[in-house]
Amino acid sequence: MSVVDVVYAKGPALVTTPDGGRWSVVGGQHWPADDPVVLARPDLFTRDPRFGLSYSAAPTAMADPPVEDATAEPGARRRVAVPRQGDA
């Protein structure tokens, strides 16, 4: 049994391949990673299997990891270490 490297469509699109073919892509479809449609528009696909996943209650793994917020709230100050004279 061989394994197919699979990617998932992020959303709907119409893709034209270099040979002139026109393909309708539906969000959630899975495609072989080396398919001419995927190679023509790799930005439309992801390796994230959550695209197109069916569920009745969102699995806990669905949550994205927290993203650090580098923007301070209004009035907040950042603590920055200022080197003293003589420190390198």
What is the pTM assigned to this prediction?
0.63
Question: Tens of pLDDT along 2-37?
Answer: 889 999 999 999 999 999 999 999 999 999 999 999
The whole-number pLDDT of residue 38 equals 96
CA distance 42 to 32: 11
Residue 17 has phi, psi (to 5 degrees) of: -90, 160
The whole-number pLDDT of residue 86 equals 65
Domain boundaries, given as residue ranges, for the chain: 1-47
- Residues ≥6 apart with Cβ < 8 Å to 53: 28, 62
Q: Is pLDDT of 67 > 90?
A: no
Tokens of 2: 């061989």
Answer whether 48's CB lies under 8 Å from 9's CB: no
CA distance 45 to 3: 19
